[in-house]
Amino acid sequence: MSGTLTLILGGIKSGKSRHALELARERGAGHPVGFIATAEAFDEEMKIRIRKHREEREALFFTIEEPLHLSRAIAEGWAKSPCLVVDCLTLWVNNLLFHLEPTPQKIRDERNTFLGMMNQKKGDLILVSNEVGSGLVPENALTRRYMDELGNLNQAVARASDEVIIMIAGIPRRLKGSVHV
């Protein structure tokens, strides 16, 4: 089976997640859709955000929570559904740096394993990520490393994607592919 690989980029609160869910509903054609959540609830505010996002997804979606091993979650999701949403690569890169920062090779291994899994296209895969290329260069080294890691990952995913959409104030704009927005 082959599928469509879609990357949805945008700033904070640009409508990326909402648009990803809309595409998944359309592409899932009434079948269960996998939602892979990379967020971790480190504080009360994040717990509330995660709960709110869960409530926004109706019964059509099943959730796999995986902060680190994204390729394993994608394989698990594709075993249950031909359409998956990964929300989001932004937090996944943060998690890799937070948990694996002292071992850069493990970060590269996770990234490469994910890129290999993503290219298998066993179904539709909709990936959500923040666009970081329009911001300022951060003052501290760890934040610069994070921006570099996420920017490089976004570029690799965009190159491999069939479709790339950027969200601006809730409006989807096609950058690559024949996206129906």
State the CATH number of the domain containing residue 120.
Answer: 3.40.50.300
Q: Both tokens of residue 12?
A: 């904070």
**Domain annotation covers residue 48:** yes
Domain carrying residue 31: 5-176
109 assigned to some structural domain: yes
Q: Which among 116, 154, 120, 121 is positioned nearest to 135, based on CA atoms?
A: 154
- Let me know if residue 51 belongs to a domain: yes
Is residue 146 assigned to a domain?
Answer: yes
Q: What is the pLDDT along the chain (181 residues), one digit of tens a residue?
A: 578 999 999 998 999 999 999 999 999 877 899 999 999 888 898 888 888 888 877 778 999 999 999 999 999 999 999 999 999 999 999 999 998 877 788 889 999 999 999 888 888 999 999 998 787 888 898 889 899 999 999 999 999 999 999 999 999 999 999 745 4
Q: What are 20-26's contacts with CB under 8 Å, separation 24+? A: 20/85, 20/87, 20/126, 20/128, 21/56, 21/57, 21/61, 21/85, 23/126, 24/61, 24/83, 24/84, 24/85, 24/124, 24/126, 25/60, 26/180
Instruction: Considering the candidates 19, 31, 53, 69, report the single residue annotated as catalytic.
Output: 53
Q: Is 31 a catalytic residue?
A: no
Q: Residue 38 falls within a domain, yes or no?
A: yes
Full-prediction pTM beyond 0.85? yes
Domain-located, residue 181: no
